[in-house]
Structure 1
Amino acid sequence: MLNSQDPIKKGILLTVLSAFVMSITALAAKQAQMTIAVSTLVFWQSVFCTLIVFPQMRGHWKKRPFSVWKIHLIRGFGGFAGFLFYYWSLNHIPLVEASLLRTCAPLCVPFVVLLLHRVHIPKSRWLPLVIGFIGVAFVIQPTPNHLNPWHLVGFLSAIGLALSMVTTRILSYQVSGQETLFVYFLLSALLSLPLMWFQGDSLVVPLEIWPWIGIVVLALYVGMYLYNQAYRLAPASLISPVSYVGVVFSGFWGWVIWGHIPNAYAILGMLFIFLSVLISSKMAEGKG
């Protein structure tokens, strides 16, 4: 007899594995960016992921109305901006802090929904939002003597990810997951080209950097796959707080490789943000 808890346990395990794999993506990206530009990395990352997803599109090619393409474009721009700002911040702030700021995406989702759908934020949601943004303030520490603009860039990655999350959910009711990923990666590659031209970056990648790009591509694809599978097995209210373990993995890599140790304010900020995610997840579970 199948235990009803087995799928949930498997979903939790897949979430932890996904978080670990995605931390390797950030690690490899940080290493690659020591030699190549961020726009170059995003371009090749997107091109190879497009090639991986392309064969999976067999049987999913369909004519879509403009309303669907509009959401595709918004989702593509949000995902592109999310990775771009995240990778930029990796070059200037510790890996754990950049990853932590990116995990603030759920805090930004209500504001994205307000912008896209004019749906006001319920009063009950303000408590976890306030707690979460207090945590962000502890991480950024915006004082005249301590204001690193790259922390703000890291937080912009959360806004891009939140836009991606909201539009991905909208698309999930209208198109296949393969189509969503294929269009996203293709748009990301196309958006990278004018950015590279504007910044004077090159498509050429030194031979010794290709293994790092390969790790980025493989880890990104596997991480996304595991995350999607986890959502099939366990409720989102459980996945969200568990996925926060990715910050721990990022902190471990940052400590082992670069000797970065978060200060007391950053650690306090982590706790506040995790508490915010946990409260929001419990609220969502209660409504479910």
Structure 2
Amino acid sequence: MTATHPYKGAFLLVCGLLLFACLDTTLKYLSALQNIPALAAIRYIGNLVLMVAIVAPSQGKAMVSTQRTGLVLLRAGSLAVVTLFMGLAFQRMPVAETTAIGFLAPMLVILAAGPVLGEKVGLAGWLTALLGFAGVMLIVRPGSGLDPIGVIFALCAVAANLCYQLLSRILAASEQTIALLFYTALAGSLIFGVALPWTWNGWHPDALEIVLLASMGAFGGLGHWLFTQAYRYAPASLLAPMNYLQLLWAGLLGYGVFGHVPDTLAMIGMVIVGLSGVITAIRTRRPPAKRSV
């Protein structure tokens, strides 16, 4: 499918990124009280319940119909892996730094766009991508104070997120947004829900914590709907720069909720990551459209 409304796609993505930052901040806050797999179960089950209650009556069969079921399920499983590892990383590291490491994924999407999406990246794109890796190294440098295990978890999330984002772009041409969202919620609910009796630590949340638990499903569901819908209107090479706005949201929420301010070198690294990703995306060149036969 050819993107015909790039600005609409960019706007949808930016709104989705704000919700993702809210989800990450909420997850970090609650991770001090409950295990990550249990929180992930609540998030996905809440998302699934909302879809079945609100969306299913109007969408009906469209919510479960797929053209490439295997890839749809792989995408859903990839996001579940991202949720697990990012949650474990947030549990050990500040929101802003963890988010910055996570932004290796959209940068890698640009570099993988050639063999997977049929896009081309020039030499400048590769050079700025390497600059982005250098920025991440400033963030995770020895002496940064970041938990090494947390960094490993964040990098595992990057690998899974790369798969998720590429599949989102590929499946946007054949699958309905509502079906992608449903199977994402279903897979996460099954994967984490089955283990819930063994991962719940006996915590009894108060009224505020119950609201925060419920908000995770809403933040995740609506955020991923906006993210998936954005790819229907704009190409990956245009949307990739917009992803870096989440760094701003993460920094502001991390400061507002936890009072955390990254050190100078980490802030420089974040700026480098953001700028290099934007430049890489802008310099990405799409090949002429080919007729299918």
Q: What is the TM-score with the length of structure 2 in the denominator?
A: 0.80
- Aligned to 1:91, the other structure's residue is in SS state helix
Aligned pairs for 1:54-69 (under 5 A) are 54=52, 55=56, 57-60=59-62, 68-69=68-69
Counterpart for residue 240 of structure 2: 240
Aligned-pair CA distance for 1:261: 1.1
Counterpart for residue 101 of structure 2: 101
2:162 and 2:108 map into 1 onto residues whose CA distance is: 6
Aligned pairs for 1:1-288 (under 5 A) are 11-54=9-52, 55=56, 57-60=59-62, 68-109=68-109, 124=123, 125-142=125-142, 148-193=148-193, 195-196=195-196, 200-202=198-200, 206-208=204-206, 209-232=209-232, 235-284=235-284, 287=287
Per the alignment, do residues 190 and 275 of structure 1 end up closer, same or farther by CA in structure 2, a change over 3 Å counting?
same
Aligned-pair CA distance for 1:145: 8.7
- Aligned to 1:35, the other structure's residue is in SS state coil
- Structure 1 stretches of 5 or more lacking a match? 1-6
Aligned-pair CA distance for 1:84: 1.0
2:226 and 2:184 map into 1 onto residues whose CA distance is: 18
1:186 and 1:138 map into 2 onto residues whose CA distance is: 38
Larger deviation, residues 162-171 vs 119-128: 119-128
**CA deviation digits over 1:139-162, x for unaligned, max 9?**
111579976221221122222111
- Aligned to 1:191, the other structure's residue is in SS state helix
Q: Which amino acid aligns with 1:164?
A: Y
Does structure 1 retain, via aligned residues, the 8 Å contact 2:140–2:151? yes
Aligned-pair CA distance for 1:225: 3.2
Aligned-pair CA distance for 1:238: 3.6
- Aligned to 2:246, the other structure's residue is in SS state helix
Does structure 2 retain, via aligned residues, the 8 Å contact 1:47–1:189? yes
**CA deviation digits over 1:39-59, x for unaligned, max 9?**
111111111212233316413
Per the alignment, do residues 165 and 235 of structure 1 end up closer, same or farther by CA in structure 2, a change over 3 Å counting?
closer
- Aligned to 1:141, the other structure's residue is in SS state coil
Aligned-pair CA distance for 1:102: 1.8
**CA deviation digits over 1:149-205, x for unaligned, max 9?**
2122112222211111112222223321111111121111111145556xx412866
Aligned-pair CA distance for 1:262: 0.9
Per the alignment, do residues 225 and 147 of structure 1 end up closer, same or farther by CA in structure 2, a change over 3 Å counting?
closer
Counterpart for residue 3 of structure 1: none
Aligned-pair CA distance for 1:60: 1.5
- Structure 2 stretches of 5 or more lacking a match? 289-293
Aligned-pair CA distance for 1:128: 2.8
Identity in percent:
19
Does structure 2 retain, via aligned residues, the 8 Å contact 1:108–1:158? no
Q: Work out the number of aligned pairs and report it.
A: 277
Q: Which amino acid aligns with 2:91?
A: N
1:145 and 1:93 map into 2 onto residues whose CA distance is: 9
Q: Which amino acid aligns with 1:26?
A: D
Q: What is the TM-score with the length of structure 1 in the denominator?
A: 0.81
2:30 and 2:152 map into 1 onto residues whose CA distance is: 22
1:144 and 1:10 map into 2 onto residues whose CA distance is: 39
Q: Which amino acid aligns with 2:199?
A: D
Per the alignment, do residues 72 and 146 of structure 1 end up closer, same or farther by CA in structure 2, a change over 3 Å counting?
closer
Per the alignment, do residues 259 and 61 of structure 1 end up closer, same or farther by CA in structure 2, a change over 3 Å counting?
closer
Per the alignment, do residues 147 and 39 of structure 1 end up closer, same or farther by CA in structure 2, a change over 3 Å counting?
closer
Aligned-pair CA distance for 1:136: 1.4
Q: Which amino acid aligns with 1:69?
A: T
1:169 and 1:242 map into 2 onto residues whose CA distance is: 15
Aligned-pair CA distance for 1:120: 12
Per the alignment, do residues 108 and 237 of structure 1 end up closer, same or farther by CA in structure 2, a change over 3 Å counting?
closer
Per the alignment, do residues 255 and 63 of structure 1 end up closer, same or farther by CA in structure 2, a change over 3 Å counting?
closer
Does structure 2 retain, via aligned residues, the 8 Å contact 1:131–1:275? no
